[in-house]
Structure 1
Amino acid sequence: MVFHIIGIGNRKADFSGELLSLIESHAVFSGGNRHHELVGHLLPEGYTWLPVQSPMELLFESYEQLGQTVVVFASGDPLFYGIANTLRSRYPDAEIYTYPYFSSIQLLVHRANLNSNLLQTVSVHGRSWAALDEVLIQQKPLIGILTDQEKSPSAIAKRLLEYGYTNYSIWIAEDLEGENEKVRHLEPREAGNSVFHPLNCVILKKESHRHIDFGIKDVLFEGLKGRPNMITKMPVRLCSLHALDLAARPVLWDIGFCTGSLSIEAKLRFPQLEIHAFEKRTECLQILHHNQNNFGVPGINAYIGDIFETDLDHLSKPRAVFIGGHGGRLKELLQMIDRYLLTDGTVVINAVQDASINDFIAFSRLLNWKLDEPLKLKVDGHNEITILKATK
């Protein structure tokens, strides 16, 4: 299969030379409805137009049935979160030729006169917040964002406010190159209360650095009322994160998250991490959300209830599991974890009682997990903690 993919802007196309000859010498074209409005006057008589729309599988079937070279029109740069990548993935052996235009983010950089050397771009268009959360936690200096109707500039601004990233200002481009083009530079609060043209993109510009400690002090976390010691202490937390070896493990399950201190610290150090946190106590959900907002940590998936009664099959399988609590059912919990834990996955527990230490060692051996040497820590006047690690 052969595809020629031509990037266009947001105004009526006016090609000449090579591109015009390319269009005139072909009969099958494809693109969105808006693209057709911008290039229709250039297409030869008797052409076939295959609209790019969901479900994409129908479009692919049309390409395959025709079996002809297709000229595809795309917005901006077809290789920038564009259809060229989709076609390359679908048809790895196809001949694909691209003729790019400026992407919307490039146009906004030019309009705002920003340093594109610093730019890192993510897309939330039809996607989750995960990619944006990662670069926000990393506090990248310049973040370009491809939006959609749900994850609009105002929704992005509200997310910045929710997690305390008021150290960013927001450049918003609307209807670039169109009749209603507008470029605005706003503070998050103003952007959160505004309405924008549906064709838009965003750049976040870091105006100052937000400092968050490496190893957050325990007293800064909101905790359970009347139980200030119900938190994984900071030195123990950092040693536990070291044992979990999260740099090479994309998914973490935090069982018994309580205040969320370990999940929060883990996400701050490894922003790409996918975290699923479990807790029985309903009041801990609000505590977790408060601590997430306070420390600027979006992207932790929380589940309240008995983990043995929770549907885990739809979750990403973990390569790391932290056990913050087991309710006296450690053997059952380890057996359950073994069903989901990927090969070479690690399990870490902080144990106080000898019974928990002995049970973890015994049950890990029954499951043929490899045990590391235990690490014992005593923080101030608190009970000695034994950090145990096993690898599947």
Structure 2
Amino acid sequence: MTFYVIGIGNKEPNFTVKQQQDILDTHVFSGGKRHYELVKGYLPKNHQWIPIQSPMQEVFTAYEETSGTIVIFASGNPLFYGFSNTLKNKYPDAEIVTTPYFSSIQLLANAMHINSSHLQTISVHGRTWKALDVVLIQQKECIGVLTDTDKNPATIAKRLLEYGYDNYKIFVGEDIEGTEEKFQELSLPEAPMMRFHPLNCVILKKTTHRQIDFGIRDTDFKGLPGRPKMITKMPVRLMTLHYLNILNINTLWDIGFCTGSVSIEAKLKNPDITVVAFEKRPECEAIMIENQKRLGVPGIQVVMGDFLEQDLSTLPKPDTIFIGGHGGKLEQLFLKMTPFLHQGTSIVINAVKQSSILVFKEQCAKIGYTIIQENTITLDTNNPITIVKAVTPSRFPKTLKVYKTLKV
């Protein structure tokens, strides 16, 4: 199969002589409804038009029933979160020739005289918030955002304010190159109160850097009412994150999140990871949400209710599991989670009671896991906390050190 993908703007295109000839030599064309209105005057008579619309499988079927070359018209740069990438994924052996135009983000940056040397662009168009959440936690200096109907300038600004990222200003481009073209610079509080043209894109520019401690102070978290010690203390938390290998995993399950301290600090250290946090105490849900907003950590998936009653099959399989609480049901917990372990999954527990450590080791042995690290930490007058890590044999490091006791 051969595809010629031509990027066009939001106006009648000015095709090159070669592009005009390629169009006249072709019978089958494709693109969105808006693209057709812009290019139909250039197409030969009796042409076939394959509209790009949902469901996409019908579009691909139409392509596959066509012999010869297909010319596809796409917005902006089809190699930049665009249709050429979709074609490459679907038809890796096809010949795909792309002629790009300016992306909408480029046009917005140029119109607003924004230095785009450090511009990092992400897309929330038809996607989750994850890509935006990652660059916000990283506090990138200049962020381009490709939007959609729901994730528009108003809702983007609202999300930034909700999680404390008021250290950005927002630039909005609407109907760029169209009859209602508009560019404006706004403060974040202004944007949620406004309506925008459906065709828009956004650039976020950092004004100041939001300071977040490497190890979050325990007092920065909202805690359980009347139980201020019910939190994984900062030194213990940081060592736990080390045991969880948090910089080198994709998915963390945090069982018994309580105040959310481990989940939140894990996401701050590695914004790309998926964190699924479980807790059965109803009051902890509001505490987790409040702490996420205080510390600027969106994107944690919270699962409320008894872990033993959850449908875990709908969740991403964990690369590492942290057991912060088990309610005396550690054996049942292992029975529940074992079917969802894969060869590389590690398991870490923080335990106060010796009985919990013994049951943890017994259950690990039953499923073929081996203890590779164990530390006991005592902070001031608090009860000693023992951190234990277990992995499958294939995960053994070449050089293995087991640390016994550390008093701080």
Tell me the TM-score range normalised by the shorter chain: over 0.9
Q: Counterpart of 1:58 in 2: which secondary structure?
A: helix
1:336 correspondence with 2:344: no
Counterpart of 2:260 in structure 1 is 260
Q: Counterpart of 1:313 in 2: which secondary structure?
A: helix
Distance (Å, rounded) in 2 between the aligned partners of 1:373 and 1:76: 53
Check the 8 A contact 2:246/2:269 in 1, yes or no: no
Unaligned runs of at least 5 residues, structure 1? none
Q: Which amino acid aligns with 1:82?
A: G
The number of aligned residues is 392
Q: CA deviation at 1:247?
A: 1.9
Q: Counterpart of 2:334 in 1: which secondary structure?
A: helix
Distance (Å, rounded) in 2 between the aligned partners of 1:254 and 1:184: 42
Counterpart of 2:185 in structure 1 is 185
**What are the superposed Cα offsets for residues 260-312 of structure 1, whole Å, 9 maximum, x if unpaired?**
00000000000001011000100000000000000000000101110111111
Counterpart of 2:123 in structure 1 is 123
**What are the superposed Cα offsets for residues 116-171 of structure 1, whole Å, 9 maximum, x if unpaired?**
22011110000000011001000000110000001011000000010000000000
Q: Which amino acid aligns with 2:120?
A: Q
Counterpart of 1:216 in structure 2 is 216
1:43 correspondence with 2:4: no
Counterpart of 2:52 in structure 1 is 52
Distance (Å, rounded) in 1 between the aligned partners of 2:371 and 2:125: 44
1:167 correspondence with 2:167: yes
Q: CA deviation at 1:114?
A: 1.3
Q: CA deviation at 1:24?
A: 1.1
Check the 8 A contact 2:123/2:146 in 1, yes or no: yes
Counterpart of 1:2 in structure 2 is 2
Distance (Å, rounded) in 2 between the aligned partners of 1:190 and 1:272: 30
Q: CA deviation at 1:224?
A: 0.6
Distance (Å, rounded) in 2 between the aligned partners of 1:336 and 1:343: 17
Q: Counterpart of 2:325 in 1: which secondary structure?
A: coil
Q: Which amino acid aligns with 2:88?
A: R
Distance (Å, rounded) in 2 between the aligned partners of 1:267 and 1:155: 22
Q: Tell me which stretches of 4 or more aligned residues in structure 1 moved more than 3 Å.
A: none
Q: Counterpart of 1:387 in 2: which secondary structure?
A: strand
Counterpart of 1:314 in structure 2 is 314
Counterpart of 2:243 in structure 1 is 243
Q: Which amino acid aligns with 1:56?
A: M
Moved more, 356-365 or 333-342: 333-342
Counterpart of 2:399 in structure 1 is none
Distance (Å, rounded) in 2 between the aligned partners of 1:225 and 1:331: 30
Distance (Å, rounded) in 1 between the aligned partners of 2:60 and 2:120: 31
Moved more, 208-217 or 332-341: 332-341
Q: How does 1:78-157 map to 2 (within 5 A)?
A: 78-157=78-157
Q: Which amino acid aligns with 2:281?
A: R
Q: CA deviation at 1:365?
A: 1.2
Q: CA deviation at 1:249?
A: 1.2
**What are the superposed Cα offsets for residues 169-201 of structure 1, whole Å, 9 maximum, x if unpaired?**
000000000111111111111011111000000
Distance (Å, rounded) in 1 between the aligned partners of 2:224 and 2:93: 58
Q: Counterpart of 1:374 in 2: which secondary structure?
A: strand
Distance (Å, rounded) in 2 between the aligned partners of 1:242 and 1:115: 38
Q: CA deviation at 1:391?
A: 1.0
**What are the superposed Cα offsets for residues 96-123 of structure 1, whole Å, 9 maximum, x if unpaired?**
0000000001111111111222011110
1:297 correspondence with 2:297: yes
Distance (Å, rounded) in 1 between the aligned partners of 2:390 and 2:301: 24
Q: Counterpart of 2:65 in 1: which secondary structure?
A: helix
Check the 8 A contact 2:374/2:387 in 1, yes or no: yes
Q: CA deviation at 1:370?
A: 1.9
Q: Which amino acid aligns with 2:288?
A: L
Distance (Å, rounded) in 2 between the aligned partners of 1:241 and 1:205: 31
Distance (Å, rounded) in 2 between the aligned partners of 1:346 and 1:111: 50
Q: Which amino acid aligns with 2:161?
A: L
1:74 correspondence with 2:65: no
Counterpart of 1:346 in structure 2 is 346
Unaligned runs of at least 5 residues, structure 2? 393-408
Distance (Å, rounded) in 1 between the aligned partners of 2:286 and 2:16: 60
Q: Which amino acid aligns with 1:178?
A: G
Q: Which amino acid aligns with 1:26?
A: T
Q: Which amino acid aligns with 2:138?
A: Q
Distance (Å, rounded) in 1 between the aligned partners of 2:58 and 2:67: 14
Moved more, 13-22 or 82-91: 13-22
Q: CA deviation at 1:68?
A: 2.2
Check the 8 A contact 2:78/2:84 in 1, yes or no: yes
**What are the superposed Cα offsets for residues 24-69 of structure 1, whole Å, 9 maximum, x if unpaired?**
1111100001000111110011111110000010111111112221
**What are the superposed Cα offsets for residues 309-340 of structure 1, whole Å, 9 maximum, x if unpaired?**
11111100001111010010111112322211
Q: Counterpart of 1:116 in 2: which secondary structure?
A: coil
Distance (Å, rounded) in 2 between the aligned partners of 1:145 and 1:94: 30
Moved more, 194-203 or 361-370: 361-370
Moved more, 91-100 or 336-345: 336-345
Q: CA deviation at 1:366?
A: 1.6
Q: Which amino acid aligns with 2:383?
A: N
Q: CA deviation at 1:76?
A: 0.3
Q: Which amino acid aligns with 1:133?
A: D
Check the 8 A contact 2:373/2:390 in 1, yes or no: no
Distance (Å, rounded) in 2 between the aligned partners of 1:116 and 1:370: 50
Distance (Å, rounded) in 2 between the aligned partners of 1:387 and 1:241: 11
Counterpart of 1:205 in structure 2 is 205
Which TM-score applies when normalising by structure 1?
Answer: 0.99
